[in-house]
Structure 1
Amino acid sequence: MSKSSDSAANFAQMNTGVVTRQYYSVGISAVNRDLVIGGAQDNGTNIRIGATTNYKEVIGGDGFAVAVHPVNSLILYGTIYNSRIFRSTDGGTNFDNEITPNFGPNETLPFISPLTMDPANPSVLYTASNFLWKTTNGGTSWTRVSSTDLGDGSSEGYVTKIAVAKANPQHILTATGSGNVKKSADGGATWTELHGLPNRRYAAHVEFDPTNVDVFYVSYTTAAASGRLFRTNDGGASFATIEAGLPRFPVHVLRVDPGDSKTLYAGTDVGLYRSPDSGASWARFGTGLPAVSVWDIAILPDGSMMRVASHGRGFFELQISTP
């Protein structure tokens, strides 16, 4: 917002205190609790390094997925469109090292770029086109690990999200813009398409239970009466909806509490929801958190605090418990 007092000859900005950033992602650090990083619509990747209300815009363009090294918070990753990836090794002062894989000319690249760090090895990261790519050295080099097209051959067949199982990192899930969900149990060499899920519906998120590779979740960006959030207990052989208490709006993200796998958090178009019983029931969560679209959730490993990326109201911090 700008104001002119001289018949439009000059304008002064009036945006101080107006928080309207549309974030797609948020990254946090257990070793530097003041660190916040996230990708924003039209406003690049934003980072806060210390205990301040000021953020610095880095990289540029539309910012999407981010990743933070769990032990060395100087190592950060950010993305822009078409799965372009940038790395910082100095805590975000510089992001001048582009480490994008050498995608092939016939690969279908997403606008909203995926990036996932292996929970057991922070030097291993995954990104994707309609094929899965992997680095084992923090992005210095990349290898295409899937010979299988993970989409359906359509223009929406790009990968939207990647999940790597903490219980066994050989187990990987991918979701696509055309709704396909595929699973690998051998690090991406071979893939199985999962059935019993909606067709031709944007698959927004996949998430493993941290203790059991056979339990995982799939969410969709739909306002249909049913089909927004699914759970499997048998490795994807069957799925059940877990929507009781959720609003009839898209579910952009689901996270499992790191200390209690029965406790789930879901980000919807109208706020954050919590389930204490593996998704059997849901209720609004977060005192002071408005009914705003929530696109990402990051929880500290000890479960004491979460930060939420909202699409329109910036970041929010919620204390869950005392460490």
Structure 2
Amino acid sequence: MKKQFLGVVVGSLLLSGCSLGGVPVSLTGNENSATSSEISAFAIKSVSGSLWKTEDSGKTFMVKSQVDAKSSITKADILSIAYHPQKSGMIYVGTVDSGIFKTENGGDQWTPIAFPPKRIYSFILDKNDPDNRMFASGMVGEWGKIFRTDDGGTTWRDVYTEPGQKIPITALSQHFRERNIIFAGTAAGTVVKSVDSGETWANVGNEINGTVSDIAFDSTKSLVTYLLVFGQKVYYSSDGGVQWIDWEVEKQKEMADLQDRASRVSSKGNRSEGDSIRNQVTNLSKRNQENEMPRGIVSIASDPTQSGVLYAGTNVGLFRSTDFGKYWEEINIIESAKAFPIRSIAVNPQDSEEIVFVAGKAFYKSIDGGVTWMTTGLNVDRGVSFITYDPFDPKYLFIGLRNFK
């Protein structure tokens, strides 16, 4: 596709959505008895703070939204987070309409980084050159664009323009191993891929219907890619996005092929073999119904160490697949959590048995693969957009908040 470039030199930043103050408040879970100050945190109204951090594996959370002595980003809607791959404590966050922020001390203080468009739809840190290069998508007039900075945010240029008017680019994802590869998805279901760090782009895969909200990768098989259509389903690709497979459609094809085979065998007089194949069809149909892909998926997470393991959060529960998304099982979470959408899931990068998610105003953590759960109340004032482990030390986790319409 044809590239369009726009050089932008940014001289100032308006911290829209920022507010004064931002005193850290500790919120505790039910694993240890609470102190009087911690109990008071539950008694007050919801605490303002766009970013929350735990330093004890989820027992307590503190607001980490300070910019300087006078201002904070307590009202900003946080979109995504990215960790510097070599420098512990250096973290970047992208917000919906308050710009990009960077911390070098694990969230104690944030520094704004200017981004030209007012609204950001997706943001990633380029791990090939994390000190200088970032990608973010936004709208300029009626055009959705991907911007790249090569100097830490001083200047930005557009490296891709979506040909369809009024169509934002809603997902950006860099391959964690083959870092020259970047995928982008749009609100109209278009998927494009760059293999040269964003210099050129090509359309990949068949038509997808719906808003692409996330793109994830298998922990071991480099070509295996997952694509989430928000509120609908997960697509699977075994060839790096050349073809996207809808497993439910694929399973129906498998059934039809078996039924055709049974008919051909029976027509040749081999009734016994035909009956055997029909039994296979019956058993397969039962499995397809019992382990179908959950509906209304709003978040996914690929296990960072186990190939083929994928988690899906929905409006009514948490699900897991161990065969690249083909068959699914529901995880037995706390029943009250099913009343809220699970918008973010994370798996400990050092221990696949540890799974966390947020539903409503509670943090849930399992250390036995989802058999039992620890819960922590969150006195937050908005929904949770993400929860992530610090790759340098998994006892640190960040939660980002935003308003969902």
Q: TM-score, normalised by structure 2?
A: 0.58
Mapped partners of 1:247, 1:168: distance in 2: 30
Q: Which amino acid letter does the alignment assign opposite residue 180 of structure 2?
A: Q
Structure 1 match to 2:109: 94
Superposed, which structure 2 residues align to 1:76-95 within 5 Å? 76-82=91-97, 84-95=99-110
Residue number among 174, 178, 189 corresponding to 2:188 in the alignment: 178
By how many angstroms is 1:283 displaced? 1.2
Alpha carbons 1:161, 1:205 under 8 Å: kept: yes
Q: Which amino acid letter does the alignment assign opposite residue 63 of structure 2?
A: K
Alpha carbons 1:47, 1:92 under 8 Å: kept: no
Q: TM-score, normalised by structure 1?
A: 0.72
By how many angstroms is 1:293 displaced? 1.1
Answer yes or no: is 1:53 the counterpart of 2:56: no
Q: Name structure 1 gaps, 5 residues minimum.
A: 1-13, 22-42
Aligned-residue sequence identity (percent) comes to: 24
Answer yes or no: is 1:203 the counterpart of 2:212: yes
- Structure number with larger C-alpha Rg: 2
Structure 1 residues 286, 119: CA separation in 2 closer, same or farther (over 3 Å shift)?
farther
Structure 1 residues 70, 49: CA separation in 2 closer, same or farther (over 3 Å shift)?
farther
By how many angstroms is 1:234 displaced? 2.1
Q: Name structure 2 gaps, 5 residues minimum.
A: 1-39, 66-72, 139-143, 249-290, 370-393, 395-405
By how many angstroms is 1:92 displaced? 1.5
- Superimposed CA distance per residue, residues 88-142 of structure 1 (whole angstroms, 9 cap, x where no aligned partner): 22222222x2113234xxxx944xx4222345664343221122233456x4445
- Superimposed CA distance per residue, residues 54-86 of structure 1 (whole angstroms, 9 cap, x where no aligned partner): 421521232221223355442222232237111
Structure 2 match to 1:152: 164
**RMSD of aligned C-alpha atoms?**
3.1
Alpha carbons 2:182, 2:198 under 8 Å: kept: yes
Structure 1 residues 18, 303: CA separation in 2 closer, same or farther (over 3 Å shift)?
farther
Structure 1 match to 2:261: none
Superposed, which structure 2 residues align to 1:1-323 within 5 Å? 16=42, 44-51=49-56, 53-56=60-63, 58=65, 59=73, 60-82=75-97, 84-95=99-110, 97-103=111-117, 109-110=119-120, 113-118=121-126, 122-123=130-131, 124-129=133-138, 130-135=144-149, 139-144=152-157, 146=159, 148-150=160-162, 152-154=164-166, 157-199=167-209, 201-223=210-232, 228-242=233-247, 245-249=292-296, 251-285=297-331, 287-288=333-334, 290-291=337-338, 292-304=340-352, 305-310=354-359, 312-319=360-367
Structure 1 residues 83, 198: CA separation in 2 closer, same or farther (over 3 Å shift)?
farther
Mapped partners of 1:210, 1:53: distance in 2: 30
Alpha carbons 2:52, 2:63 under 8 Å: kept: yes
Structure 1 residues 230, 260: CA separation in 2 closer, same or farther (over 3 Å shift)?
same
- Larger fraction in helix: 2
Question: For this pair of structures, how many residues does the alignment match?
Answer: 270
